[in-house]
Chain A
Amino acid sequence: MSGYSDVLDSKVPDGPIADKWTNHKFDMKLVNPANKRKFEVIVVGTGLAGASAAATMGELGYKVKAFTFHDSPRRAHSIAAQGGINAAKNYQNDGDSVHRLFYDTVKGGDYRSREANVHRLAEVSVNIIDQAAAQGVPFAREYGGLLANRSFGGAQVSRTFYARGQTGQQLLLGAYSALMRQVNEGGVELFNRQEMLELVTKDGEACGIVCRDLITGEISTHSAHAVVLATGGYGNVYYLSTNAMMCNTTATWRAHRKGAFFANPCYTQIHPTCIPSSDPFQSKLTLMSESLRNDGRIWVPNNFDETRAAADIPEDERDYYLERKYPAFGNLVPRDVASRNAKTVVDAGKGVGSLKNGVYLDFAAAIARDGEDTIRAKYGNLFDMYQRITGENPYKQPMRIYPATHYTMGGLWVDYHLSTTIPGCYAIGEANFSDHGANRLGASALMQGLADGYFVLPYTIGNYLAEKLGSAPVPTSDPVFAEAQADVTDRTNRWLSINGTKSVDHYHRELGKLVWDYIGMERDKNGLEKAISEISSLEEEFHKNVRVLGSADTLNQSLEKAGRVADFFGLAKVKARDALVREESAGGHFRSEHQTEEGEAKRDDENFKHVTAWEWTGEDSAQNEHREELTFDTVPLTQRSYK
């Protein structure tokens, strides 16, 4: 194994875990305030991580250029997070602490994350809440005016802060307002409707990006001392996911092709409480807060060819399978367990709904116990949303739910500084792999995005920039830029010239089906091998037969999608390969060959207690595998059990 880890240096500082970050902040090189103006930093993506990073670096005095492909930074998909954000404030005096949040996150990540990073995340979590409250994020309050908390995702303490069901929206608006303040003050230059299509490197260091203006089609180049990618996850490789339509992997994939290692692409979080798809043209899936499982009972009919309405099925012909299999946790088992069990019963043919693709989430018992008004007060907006989408009234009949791809734990490999393997190229938020290990806890995505953006990257990037003092960024007149620009132009024109017969969406849907079937909730060797070959042939067909109409010099959504889907093909292949080599089950990666007798995930700490990071070696060869060994000095390794 040691042969793998030679190139990956996590740069985790020495010392006791609780002091690492504090000491490291002191040890890092600082940039004199007068010199900060001399450094230019590009931030791609303006979600929670990107907007907070750009704003904070702008405040520090760096010359920041922020890029978004939306019309406004406020549209990034961070906005859709519902539940909340964790922080080890212990305002409820229920025994929470930085250490407990750290511990829970490492354990919840199934021991596949880097302890030092997670501890730092838990440490700065408290600052995030202070920061957000000061910005005017309207968190829920108690009657006394102090912040309210709730327990989330099965956590034993109440550490989740929330703003109704719109926590992501409110935190993003907070970061966005900080960003707009910097735009107003000139600290940040904002480039909207610009899609990054290439990372530019010179002598192995990141020096800029190539963008396409989505309105005019103009291909432009931008240079800087460092490039920060905050471009989110790759969940849309499944076509159907809870991600937004435009979420894509292009920025991270382009960086990967330029030398950034891609870590743990097999880890995908499947969220158990989504609304099942209703027709073949479904474009996305909608998530409903996990909190529904606090009061809803999950069941399927015993009969395979059940045609009766839910209410007409007697109790003894129902299978409350989670309560049956996991008497201690019941309907509150972790996301991956709930998801996998739903898949098992639906695959067995017991699914409900006209497409037989869901399971019931039944509130009849809760309504009988607490009354409809209580349930409405708790979940009213979720019930309304469900009814709007399905046309069914969940007060009168059970909801139908099914798991959907929600979050990707994998991403660009980064060290403790959040630097990718390309010096000068950083990845933050969902775009990196760092803090969640194999599985992310509920209400931790917002925490990580903001931790990276507000409190980690702005410090660590200074360490890199300090060494660049006195050197101007590589000018965009340098041949490396012209080359990258020509490359992007060629690629763009190529899509238009194929003039095949099938739309981009067609191929995206087909790709999504393959990825869902073979690299979805449950994977096995045969399936993964099949996936690699089928994805490759579909990719080949895509490049020969896709039809992109219109021209390159205008708003052309098919053209945008073509580039994104092309990169998803590459990602899907390495995802399959990653899942294939990880011969164990951990968190969001379940190999059916590796399960306990009860059908639970079986980790193999002896052989797989590492991060797998893939190195691009060219179009015609598979990526090289690298490994970063993980050490667990503080949190003892245990096997999860929810029995």
Chain B
Amino acid sequence: MEKTHSEKTMTLTLKVWRQEPGQTGGFQTYEAPGISEDMSFLEMLDVVNERLIEDGTPPIVFESDCREGICGTCNLMIDGRAHGPEKATATCQLHMRSYNDGDHITIEPWRAASFPIIRDLAVDRSPLDAIQEAGGYITAPTGSASDANLTPVPKPAADAAMDAAACIGCGACVAACPNSAAQLFTAAKVMHMNLLPQGQAERWQRTENMVETMEEYFGSCTNHGECHEACPKEISLDFIAMMNKDYVKSKIKNRKLSGQG
């Protein structure tokens, strides 16, 4: 049977974290009436903001960009879950039909010591870039590449690399981790390249540098598995195991490569 578009609207009560730069924050409660179930969660916040502006209250600051679940900009902790209740769904793809009239929703920024709050719900996730900068690349200066089909990539390797590369860098793994570890993010980035033939030359330096940069900013992995549950792209914990192995190996390999083995 075709679902008829309901004209049903709902009224929600939002508990939203508000925080001015340099100050300690706290929850503010807002009513959100007239919410359609076809709205996305962020559109619901747009509506709340529109009303706040009318009332002369500065709108709630939250970040989003593509609103189709790929850029990784949106980042809300909704009722204690990174990206909210739906599995494999970024905040921007969460729709209000997941809620019922009268629901109370708590919205918080992501919390980690290395994700300082900028304002309200916006946090600074640039340490993830530091990890990437430390080695998240395959050195291939423009113009130096040979014909792409000269290096066949076994399909399973290409598929596994793609599974890892699907990471959108939203930081949900850090937000969901009780230790604020960035292990899943880093593992996705490291293994994407470590699995490919093109990534072999730098494999061991890459692993060592990225992991050690990660540890300058984030906590350690205690294998809770919360990161995987929160991940909008469902990146597998297997990549963490692979990275752990590669890291310990890198400690040996890098000595060997430099002739000290």
- Closest CB-CB distance, A553 to chain B, in whole Å? 9
Q: Contact partner of A134 among B20, B49, B50, B146, CB < 8 A?
A: B146
A555 B153 Cβ-Cβ under 8 A: no
In the docked arrangement, what's the CA distance between A301 and B229, Å? 43
B198 A136 Cβ-Cβ under 8 A: yes
Q: Is B248 an interface residue (CB 8 A)?
A: no
Tell me which of A282-290, A368-376, A625-633 binds B: A282-290
A283 B67 Cβ-Cβ under 8 A: yes
Q: Is A326 an interface residue (CB 8 A)?
A: no
Q: Is B80 an interface residue (CB 8 A)?
A: no
B145 A244 Cβ-Cβ under 8 A: no
Interface set, chain B 157-197, CB cutoff 8 A to A:
158-159, 161-162, 165-166, 168-169, 192-193, 196
In the docked arrangement, what's the CA distance between A549 and B58, Å? 6
Interface set, chain B 95-145, CB cutoff 8 A to A:
95, 97, 118-119, 122, 124-126, 128-129, 132-145
Q: Is B257 an interface residue (CB 8 A)?
A: no
In the docked arrangement, what's the CA distance between A397 and B166, Å? 29
B155 A145 Cβ-Cβ under 8 A: yes
Chain A residue, CB-CB nearest to B169: A74
The residues of B that contact A59 with a CB separation of less than 8 Å are 141-142
Q: Is B21 an interface residue (CB 8 A)?
A: yes
A278 B125 Cβ-Cβ under 8 A: no
Q: Is A310 an interface residue (CB 8 A)?
A: yes
In the docked arrangement, what's the CA distance between A235 and B139, Å? 34
We find that the number of chain A residues with CB closer than 8 angstroms to chain B is: 91
Q: Is B53 an interface residue (CB 8 A)?
A: yes
Interface set, chain A 426-464, CB cutoff 8 A to B:
454-455, 458
A71 B43 Cβ-Cβ under 8 A: no
- Closest CB-CB distance, B239 to chain A, in whole Å? 14
The residues of B that contact A89 with a CB separation of less than 8 Å are 148
In the docked arrangement, what's the CA distance between A353 and B143, Å? 51
B50 A55 Cβ-Cβ under 8 A: no
In the docked arrangement, what's the CA distance between A80 and B64, Å? 13
Interface set, chain B 13-65, CB cutoff 8 A to A:
20-21, 36-40, 42-43, 46-47, 49-50, 53-54, 56-59, 61, 63-65
A313-356 contact mask (Cβ, 8 Å, vs B): 1 or 0: 00000000000000000000000000000000000000001110
A503 B53 Cβ-Cβ under 8 A: yes
Chain A residue, CB-CB nearest to B126: A71
A74 B147 Cβ-Cβ under 8 A: no
B124 A177 Cβ-Cβ under 8 A: no
The residues of B that contact A635 with a CB separation of less than 8 Å are none
Tell me which of A125-133, A410-418, A474-482, A601-609 binds B: A125-133
The residues of A that contact B84 with a CB separation of less than 8 Å are none
A136 B68 Cβ-Cβ under 8 A: no
- Closest CB-CB distance, A391 to chain B, in whole Å? 5
A130 B145 Cβ-Cβ under 8 A: yes
In the docked arrangement, what's the CA distance between A166 and B46, Å? 27
Q: Contact partner of B147 among A52, A130, A168, A455, CB < 8 A?
A: A130
Interface set, chain A 370-390, CB cutoff 8 A to B:
385, 388-390
B142 A454 Cβ-Cβ under 8 A: yes
Tell me which of A180-188, A195-203, A255-263 binds B: A180-188
A244 B71 Cβ-Cβ under 8 A: yes
B149 A146 Cβ-Cβ under 8 A: yes
Q: Contact partner of B54 among A140, A181, A503, A555, CB < 8 A?
A: A503
A309 B1 Cβ-Cβ under 8 A: yes
Chain B residue, CB-CB nearest to A455: B142
Closest CB pairs A-B (n = 8): A145-B152, A309-B2, A354-B5, A177-B137, A278-B38, A134-B145, A134-B140, A133-B148
Q: 4 more A-B contacts (CB under 8 A) besides A144-B152, A281-B36, A547-B53?
A: A52-B142, A72-B128, A278-B36, A355-B5
